[in-house]
């Protein structure tokens, strides 16, 4: 039974190889994501992870783990608040915020925190439909 306040979290540390694979599959070859020399001359100093890769993790978790199978994305709002780097540990946090029984849908907080300093890097909210769960 899904209850308001249910939550789920996982820790992820991304590798440059994973970011490069995402760049290739998405076609997003912006050098800010993989070129150390290019990134060194930006305010970020180092390559930053694609924001779209982070939202892909949201999709993966909600489709497969929490709430899981049968979930269909209705919407996602995401604010990219701080850059995210490879080799840095992050905590992904999901919380069930509301349920709409008539629409078989629910809204979730979708957030990422830099693990060590507990600083939020990505904030957001998703809504999804799951006829078996809601």
Pick the closer one to a second copy by CB: 53 or 108: 53
* CB 21, min distance to a second copy, A: 5
Pick the closer one to a second copy by CB: 69 or 116: 69
Closest CA to 53 of 73, 76, 23: 23
**For residues 23 and 33, is the Cβ–Cβ distance under 8 A?**
yes
* CB 52, min distance to a second copy, A: 4
Rounded Cα gap, residues 5 and 112, in angstroms: 17
Interface residues with a second copy (CB under 8 A) are 18, 21-22, 24-30, 32, 50-53, 55-60, 63-64, 69-80
Pick the closer one to a second copy by CB: 10 or 116: 10
* CB 5, min distance to a second copy, A: 25
**For residues 41 and 99, is the Cβ–Cβ distance under 8 A?**
no
Pick the closer one to a second copy by CB: 116 or 131: 131
């Amino acid at each position: 039974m899904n209850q308001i306040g249910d939550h789920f979290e996982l820790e992820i540390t991304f590798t440059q190889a994973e970011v490069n694979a995402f760049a290739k599959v998405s076609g997003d070859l912006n050098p800010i994501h993989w070129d150390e020399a290019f990134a060194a001359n930006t305010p970020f100093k180092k390559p930053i992870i694609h924001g779209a890769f982070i939202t892909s993790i949201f999709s993966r978790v909600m489709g497969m783990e929490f709430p899981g199978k049968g979930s269909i994305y209705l919407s996602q709002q995401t604010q990219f608040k701080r850059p995210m780097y490879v080799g840095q540990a992050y905590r992904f946090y999901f919380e069930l915020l509301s349920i709409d029984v008539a629409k078989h849908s629910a809204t979730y907080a979708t957030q990422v925190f830099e693990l060590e300093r507990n600083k939020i890097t990505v904030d957001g909210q998703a809504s999804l439909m799951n006829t078996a769960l809601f």
